Each structure stands twice: as structure tokens, then as C-alpha cells.
Structure 1
Amino acid sequence: MGIYNYYQDYSKVIFIGLPGDTLDGTLIAGAFYSSFLYTVRISVVVLLTIYIVNYFVNRGLLEKISDYASPVTKKLNLNSFLVSSILVSFFSPTVGYTMLADGITEKELTQTEVLAGTLANSFPAVFSHVLTYYIPVVIPILGYTGIIYVILRLSIAFIKSMLGLFILLIISRKNTGNIKSSGNKINNKISPFEKTFKFARRFVPVMFISMFLVLYLSKTGFFDVFSRIVMPVTNIFNLNPNTGILAITEIINVSAAMVMAGTFLNEASLTQNEVLIGLIFGNIVAFSTRSVKHSIPLHFSLFGSKMGTKVIILNSGVTIILDILIIGFLIMI
């Protein structure tokens, strides 16, 4: 039974015979109370984790990881711009991309090396998000399913990095020049408390509002409309329509999708595999909107429109292909 049907039937049983205004008010009050409790419970875990992560990041955790990886990357006998870009991406993917852009500007890297370098940066970049988002936000909300989701995201990034490194080992020209890294260190002046407070100001309202809307709209049967829209697609693969609703939500807001996924899991409206499929499918569909908001401005400013387009298409294309393969695997098991 879908969550929209569950809440709709539940509301009919509990509130039958009540006036329309009273019914609507009761639904709002119930959704508000449940959302408040859920937000408080999750926020305590998330914000505490955020504080701890930021504390260790300020203590140089990511730089230490980069230092440990340095001997391995140096043995690969790659161009120094590429090595530095990979290492820097562990704590700042944007700086890593900037170093690739500098390499091509200074004619130390070819276009092919830069394209392969952006693939090689995938795992370090996603790993940095594991510490700052996946562990403190996704796992507390989704639990064991969240752990599997994080492993899948890391696996995709790892495959992309291995593909990039494989290409680089074939084509890269070694350059032993030194790369200045004084501007690439993390700014540790902001205290963990300030970072946590800044995150909380954005996260807590989004969490509460998302949870409230999910619960209230579910109880009113609002998602029936979306279920009919996505049903042709979900029927082809014999999936619960809620999987499609989850994917649509991820296009709008990733955190809202995580909250909805947690709700579906708690209400047994979706299985673990269906939640994973919904989130990964949403990631595929959301690439278009994310490119407009983030990828295009960043990559165009660094590499120019022509080269930036190539970087976006290559990285998005490889990720989408791997996402589709994982979805196919999850459907079969």
C-alpha cells in the first residue's frame, strides 16, 4: 500500500463525520506535531555529527588523508598538476578543478588530460561530501539504507576515478615542476560551532517544512496525482509509484527527498531497494537542473564554454551510465 493511500484511508477512519474545517485543522495539527518531533530527533543527531566532523576537519583531517594518499599518487608518475589536483580535491573539489584549469591555461596539460583528470577527481570529491553531508545527514535519516546508499555513491565515484587514472597512465606527460599550494589550504578560522550553527539555520527549517509537507500532503492524498504521472514508468519496471514520487522530490530538493525516503521506510511504503532505486533515479533526472544551477556556471567560468561543456557531458554521462547499471541490478535482486 502506498503512503498516500495509507494516510488517506487512515484519515477517513479516524476523522469520519467531522466537519471539513475541523478535519483539515486536525490533519495540519497532526502533521505539525509529528514533523516537530521528527525534526528535533533527527536534528540532534545531525547537528552533533556536523559539529564533530567540522572539529576534525579544522584539526586537519582531510589534509592528513591527502598526505597519506600522496605517496600512492606520486608513484603513478603523473603530471604534477594532475597529482596536486587529485590530492586537493579531497578537501576542496572546486580548488581541484581550478588547478586543472590552471594546467591547461599554462599549457602544462592537454584537453584530454584535463578531461581524464576531472574523472580522476571524482572519488576525492565525493569523499569530501561523505564527511560533510552523507554521514551527518543521510545516514541518520535513512539508517542502514543510508549506509548502502553512501557506499553506492562512493563506488560510482571510485569507478570514475579508476577510469580517469587508467586514461591518464596511458596519455599523461610527467612534469616535475612544483605547484604552489599555499592558497589551497582549508580556512580553519571558522569554529566548528559557527559552521554547525550556519548549517542548522538552513537544515532545520528545510527539514521541518519538508517533513510537514510530506506528511500533510500524504494524508490529503495529494501524491495520488503524481503517482498517476509516474505510474507508466514505474509499471514498466514493476516498481511502487512512490519510487517515482521520491525521484521527483529529489529534483526539487535533495534533503527533502532524504526526509521523504525516511518516511517511506518508516511507514513500510517502500522497501530498502525501492528507496535506493528512487534516490538513484532522482539523481539521474536531477542532473539537468543541477547542471543549470551549479555545473554550468562553475565549469564555464573555469574552462570556458566549449571545454566546460565537454567536462560536464563526460562526467554526467559516465555517472548516468553507472547509475542505470546499479538501478538495473537493484531491480533484478
Structure 2
Amino acid sequence: MTDTAQSFPKESTTSRPAGMRRKRSGIVARILPFALCAGALVLIIRHDPALLAWAKAWPKLIHPLLRMLLYLGVGLLVGLAVEGMGWAPMLARVVRPLMRFGNLRDESGAAFTAAFFSGTTANTMLMNYWQDGRITQQEMRLSYLVNTGLPVFLLHLPTTFFIVVPMTRTAGIIYLSINALAALLRTIAVLAWSRIQLSTSATATPQAETMPQSRKTTMQKVLDAFGKRFRRIITITAPVYFLMYALNQTGAFDYLRDAFSHWAVTGLLPVEAAGVVVFSVAAEFTSGIAAAGALLDAGTLTTQQIVLALILGTIVATPIRALRHQLPSHAGVFTPKLGLVMLLQSQFLRITSLLAVTWAYLALA
């Protein structure tokens, strides 16, 4: 009698809250896409209903969204294939000493290596590993921050180098060097923090003994997992992207960009010259670099002022671009709340590291 009385409350207090949390999260997951779409529709209808017409919606909403979903699908499929085919240990072996320094598992090492080729693939791998219970949420978040440092910079370096350097020459080299040093600083700092936060035992991932499977069976499991997870990504990514489209078309991001640009330029650089660079970089990267090159050739700004203007333009533009272009994919690959938090954390680290390295450059110049 006593044993029964003691065991009954113990079972009910542990299982019921967990079940309620799962039920609540399931309800939110079903309602959220409709709420996001409804919010986007309200914004567009109040601003300009013609934005929903095919002539405007196709080039600015539907086509970019389909392209994003295509990239997400490819990244998810590659990530699942790497895991399913057993290629993850091979990728992890390349960076295992670096991961050991941060007390990160081989799964994080595999995602880190993949990040040099595709950020989407790396993110989907981390999310898959967390959902499968192979890494903790804390390790997933720390690994994501590590991946947004040097791997992301080197991934985009070939494109940015041949745009920046020919137009701005020495100033462009200094600008890219500051970004490279900031990315390296972020990676090292997060690895050092990860070493403190994660226990040493986290590096030793227990490998369960599994029966060998045929390639056909493995691919079928990969495709089944892809179909299930890609449907979930679409139901979150598409509504978030629709909301970002509505905010962009109603001028919300333009307002933020202009406000931050004025704040960044005031008291630091000549508004007549540097303002053009900052506004251009905030609006579109290539045009900003072209404006910087023109001002440099005209002698309006010195090399140091061009570097500072480009850095300020990057600081102004990057968080807004991240919300517009990365938030939908992050919300789909991770969860809306987790994706937003991780994206904001990465942008905070990027801005902080850029400011630190730029301050050192100005002190030494």
C-alpha cells in the first residue's frame, strides 16, 4: 500500500509535465506557419496588394524561395548521405586534433569540415546529430558558432577577393585581412569556451555495433529521412521567408539600414564621402565596393578611411542580411526559436570580433 502510494505520485509528476510540453510544442508547431503567413498577408495588403501579383511575386518571392528550398534540400540530402554512408568519421579525422582542443565530438568535426563546402550541409548535420542524441544541444550550438567563423569566411573568400581587391587594391587587402583575422579569432574563442563548457569525456563518442547494410537499404533510409525532415523544413522556411518578403517590401529593413548607417557614420567619417560607401555596402555589396574604389581614385578618402567605411558598412549590413536571407533557412533546419537565437549569437560574435580587430588596426596604423 505504501509502496503504491509512493510510486504513483512519482510517476505522474515526471511524465505529465513532459507530455504537456510535447503537446504544447506540437500545437505551436502547427499554428506558427499559419500565424506567420497571416502576418505577412496583413502587412502586404495594408501596404500594396499588388505585391501578391504574379509579375511581382515570382521574381522577388516565389523564385528566390524555390531556389532556397532547392539549396536546403541538397544540403539536407548530402548531410543525411554523409551520416548514412558512414563518411562522417573520415571527415572528422581531418580536424580531430582541433576538435579535441574544444572537447567536441567527431560528429562536430564532420560538420566543421562540411562547413568549408556548404553551411547548409553543416547545419543539417548538426541538427541530425542532436535529434539522434549523438551530441547535446549545447555542443550543437557551440559547434555552429565554430562553423560560422573561419569556415564561412573561407567559403566566400574566392568570390569576395576578386570583387574587393581589383577595385580597392590595398584598402581591399586590409579589409579582407581584418575579416580573416576576426573570423580566426571567433573560431579560437569559441573553441576555448567550448573546452571550458564541455567535459573531456564528450570527445569519446561511443560507437554502437551495427549490422552491415546494403547500399540500397542505406539509401532507402536516407531518402525516407530526407522526405520526413524536408517536409518539416518547408512548412517553417516558406512562411518565415514570406514574412521576410513582406517586411522587406514594406520598407522595414530599409528603415533599419538607414538608421544604423546614419548612426555608424556620425562623428567617425566624412558624411559626404563615407556615407555613400556605407549606404552602398548596406544595400548591395558589389556596388558598395565600386563606390569605395571611385572615392579612393578621386582622393576623397584615404586608404584607412576606406577600410573603416567598408568595415562599418559590413557591420551595418550583415545582421540585416542575415535576418532577411538566413533566418528562413535557420528556422527550417533548426527550430524557429533556436534558429533565431543561434543566428543572433553568431552575428553578435561577428560584430564584436570585427570591432576588436578594427580597433587594433587603427591603434597600430
Change (3 A) 1:287 1:136: closer
User: Which residue of the other structure, out of 145, 148, 152, is the alignment partner of 1:119?
Assistant: 145
Determine the structure 2 residue equivalent to 1:304: 335
What is the aligned counterpart of 1:72 among 85, 92, 97?
A: 97
- Partner in structure 2 of residue 96 of structure 1: 122
Q: TM-score, structure 2 length as denominator?
A: 0.54
Structure 1: gaps spanning 5 or more residues: 1-65, 184-228
Does the residue aligned with 1:236 lie in a helix, a strand or coil?
coil
Q: Does the Cα contact within 8 Å between 1:103 and 1:109 map onto a contact in 2?
A: yes
Q: Which has the higher contact order (CA 8 A, sep 6+)?
A: 1
Partner of 1:257: 288
Q: Who is 1:295 aligned against?
A: 326
Report the AA paired with residue 341 of structure 2. K
Structure 1 residues 187-237: Cα deviation after superposition (integer angstroms, max 9, x where no partner): xxxxxxxxxxxxxxxxxxxxxxxxxxxxxxxxxxxxxxxxxx977864523
The TM-score normalised by the length of structure 1 is 0.59
Q: Take 1:230 and 1:78, find their aligned partners in 2: how far apart are those partners?
A: 39
Rounded to whole Å, the distance in 2 between the matches of 1:71 and 1:284 is 32
Partner of 1:269: 300
Does the CA-based 8 Å contact 1:119-1:315 persist in structure 2? Answer: yes
Cα pair distance change 1:232/1:81, threshold 3 Å = closer
Name the CA distance, whole Å, in 2 between partners of 1:310 and 1:233: 24
Q: How many equivalent residue pairs?
A: 220
Aligned-partner Cα distance in 2 for 1:267–1:67: 50
Q: Which residue in the other structure is 1:163 paired with?
A: 189
SS in 2 for 1:286: helix
Letter of the 2:289 partner, please give it. M
Does 1:314 find its partner at 2:314? no
Q: Which range moves more in the overlay, 136-145 or 276-285? A: 136-145
In 1, Cα distance between equivalents of 2:93 and 2:130: 27
For residues 241 and 321 of structure 1, do their structure 2 counterparts lie closer, same or farther at Cα, with a shift above 3 Å needed?
A: farther
Gaps of 5+ in 2: 1-90, 209-217, 220-259
Structure 1 residues 238 and 104, CA gap change in structure 2 (3 angstroms): same
Distance 1:320 1:74 in 2: 24
Q: Please state whether the residue corresponding to 2:288 is helix, strand or coil.
A: helix
- Contact 1:231-1:241 within 8 A present in 2 as well: no
Question: Compared with structure 1, are the counterparts of its residues 289 and 234 closer, same or farther at alpha carbon in structure 2 (3 Å cutoff)?
Answer: closer
Aligned-pair identity in percent equals 21
- In 1, Cα distance between equivalents of 2:99 and 2:320: 37
Counterpart in the other structure of 1:87: 113
Partner-residue secondary structure (3-state), 2:134: coil
8 A contact 1:89–1:124 mirrored in 2: yes
Please give the alpha-carbon distance, in whole angstroms, between the structure 2 residues aligned to 1:80 and 1:68: 8
Is the Cα contact below 8 Å between 2:277 and 2:310 reproduced in 1?
yes
| CA distance in structure 2 between the aligned counterparts of 1:331 and 1:74, rounded to whole angstroms | 33
Quote the offset at 1:323 in angstroms. Answer: 2.4
